[in-house]
Structure 1
Amino acid sequence: MLKEVASFDHQVTGVTANETGRLFVNFPRWTEDSEVSVAELLPNGDLKAYPDPRWNAWRNAQQDSLTATDHWVCVQSVVADKRGSLWVIDAGAPAQAQVLPGGPKLVKIDLASNTVAKVYPFGLDVAPQGSYLNDVRLSPDGKFAYITDSGTSGALVVVNLESGKARRALDGAPSTQFEKRLTVKVDGKPLQRPDGRGVQFAADGIALSPNGDTLYWQAVKGKTLYQMATDALQSAPLADLPGKVEKVGENGPADGLLIDNAGTMYISSVEDHAIKVRRGAEVSVLLEDKKMRWPDTFTQGPDGTVYVTDSRIPDMNFYNPKQGPALKTSLYKIVVKD
């Protein structure tokens, strides 16, 4: 069953728990110019702008007065590495549209001091126009970051965290693209904008094996889960990478992925108001709940609790013009009965 942990007045996407149980969430600037983009969710349910109000001071109307390099522009994901740091993916593309100069970046925050430790900026060679950096996983040894790009030309981005160098992998390869013949449906009906455009998110959900040797990903508009050895992603010639991709199986259209401490993969089944789990080749439904409109991102706390955000994408005014720019959304925890 689902138990609501918190509710928000803005559209939430990412959530993460660190090794001591601190929770962090983020609110991308898709249909509204949210006052807080990254926040710590305090035990009493309040939100604290993180790491400070200055990083959250960006407003779309102030693009000429604030620098995109050291402010949150359009944050899509937050991930704690369980090694004392929080990592933030800023796609730098408000409303999933124009990529702003200096906007795309990966930011490392030291959780002990609550200060930014390092910024990894991405130029147009890594985050070109049309890109939308989506989610990130960190290698257990802390040397690499793997990022999905769910934009118009899907890809994976691999960042050497020691050198700061990043490369764009599988750009335009079939495994990172949305599946053209597939239609994402909600409540049995195609999810479409007024002009007829449907969901077209490419490589989005991402998961890393517990030992860090295998990366998994899939498109939202896609049913197929793919995998690749991380050592190939790190160093093999880019031209060789498409031949090293392996199909794992079919998950159905999904947004977030998580591999928990036991090796179980959680899958946000966006068409079914459901959460599925994959154990090896077997995929089964863990729970269904109609109040969960679009399960988005997972995280696992130190006590084993799995949390999931509900970003309510079908209710956005992208797809429902009668809906205002703001959405009330929720964070749930999954409670499994014995």
Structure 2
Amino acid sequence: MEDASPTLLSRAKEAIGLAGPLTEVASFDHQVTGVAVARDGRRFVNFPRWTDDAPISVAEVMEDGTLKPYPDEKWNSWRNAKANEMPVADYFVCVQSIVPDGHGNLWVLDPGAPGNEKILPGAPKLVKIDLAANAVTKVIPVAEDVALQGTYLNDIRFSPDGKTGYITDSGTRGAIIVVDLESGDGWRALDGHPSTQIDKSVTVAIEGKPLRRPDGRQPDFASDGIAISNDGRTLYYQALTGETLYSIDTSLLDRNVDEDRRGAGVNIVARTHVADGLWMSKAGVLYLTSPTDYSVKRLAEGGVETVLTDRRLRWPDTFSEGSDGTMYLTASHIQDTQWFTPGAPPSIKTQLFSFPPVQ
């Protein structure tokens, strides 16, 4: 693996000035992770079933801040208590992220693992929603030999032509999962490669104190944040429990490429920090969340630099971008959950924020 990304670093260097203040767009009574903004300005969020049975999995955020189940109540009606009665292929089970493909569709990524634990057979899937019709038009199951037991489908980015999806597996065996969105075929790439794995030398800390579960475990998540260059030629990714940003030419993620050749094509872009979400803006700025210090950073010459810091950003999680360039960001409050705060209520307050882009 080699250090390489001169074009991206040059673009980042040209982006002068920092973002303006953070604005709260909406707040929620359950743990939010993903956010998506459609071309027409509509905003959507999702709520995974991690520590409680969230009443909605995917919702449109209305102008008054209320939530409308999206695309309808039926898709959002699955419940843990009725798991044996409800076919997992026809409902959202544990949605982790929602991302527009730039072609009029919203894709819902469902790892199918309530509580971030065991995958329910047949539950991992991609659901395609036509934003104009507000209706599901395609469901792509992720096969058991792709979404392995222990896999957690985390986030997805799309090729510019909308034909290919790239998914990070942040589970026990990190990988990049590639899906042909036309045929539905999928495969694992960089499966077990060092770049997609947890970095055991990294400690996730909040205000200088290691973040631990009651049994002493820290957050251990493999390849998590993901971004794609605007020309679709370069994929960027990073383990959450890690401090290195990697990239690979998307042509090397083709199913027919030998894994040794693919691994040799991985590049180290920068030494970074513990990061959850990544986003490549239309202006060519690569943003990274920084949960350990309540901030948003961007790739810059020689590493990263801070765009904004705000203590309301309790675990900045996922980005999306409006058609006017406004950046949207969720705060998922992972450190405030029952996982890491014994005695915490099952439901916690979380937020959706916006900030102006770096100019």
CA contact (8 A) 1:306 1:334 kept: yes
- 1:9-88 alignment, distance < 5 Å: 9-88=29-108
2:309 to 276, 279, 288: 288
- Residues 1:311 and 2:336 aligned together: no
- 1:18 maps to a residue whose letter is A
CA contact (8 A) 2:143 2:186 kept: no
Q: Give the 3-state SS of the residue equivalent to 2:212 in structure 1.
A: coil
Q: CA deviation at 1:184?
A: 0.5
- Structure 1 partner of 2:298: 277
- 1:71-110 alignment, distance < 5 Å: 71-110=91-130
- Structure 2 partner of 1:214: 234
- Structure 1 partner of 2:267: 246
CA contact (8 A) 1:19 1:83 kept: no
Higher relative contact order (CA 8 A, sep 6+): 2
- 2:238 maps to a residue whose letter is Q
Q: CA deviation at 1:289?
A: 1.0
- 1:320 maps to a residue whose letter is T
Which structure 2 residue ranges, 5 or more long, are not aligned? 1-20
- Structure 1 partner of 2:7: none
TM-score for the superposition, normalised by structure 2 = 0.92
CA contact (8 A) 1:251 1:267 kept: no
2:144 to 124, 134, 158: 124
Runs of 4+ in 1 over 6 A off after TM superposition: none
- 2:278 maps to a residue whose letter is L
CA contact (8 A) 2:107 2:127 kept: yes
Q: CA deviation at 1:239?
A: 4.1
Q: CA deviation at 1:281?
A: 4.0
- Structure 2 partner of 1:185: 205
How many correspondences in the alignment?
338
- After the TM superposition, which of the residue ranges 173-182 and 228-237 deviates more from structure 2? 228-237
Q: CA deviation at 1:238?
A: 3.2
Cα 1:279–1:262 change in 2 (3 A) is farther
Q: Once the two structures are superposed, what CA deviation does each residue of 1:32-81 show, in whole Å capped at 9, x if it has no partner?
A: 01010001111121111011101001000111110110100000000012
CA contact (8 A) 1:206 1:215 kept: yes
TM-score for the superposition, normalised by structure 1 = 0.98
- 2:340 maps to a residue whose letter is Y
Counterpart Cα distance in 2 of 1:279 and 1:22: 31
- Structure 2 partner of 1:322: 343
CA contact (8 A) 1:3 1:335 kept: no
Counterpart Cα distance in 2 of 1:314 and 1:121: 32
Q: Give the 3-state SS of the residue equivalent to 1:175 in structure 2.
A: helix
Which structure 1 residue ranges, 5 or more long, are not aligned? none
CA contact (8 A) 2:116 2:152 kept: yes
- Residues 1:259 and 2:280 aligned together: yes
- 1:268 maps to a residue whose letter is T
Cα 1:175–1:191 change in 2 (3 A) is same
CA RMSD of aligned residues (A): 1.2
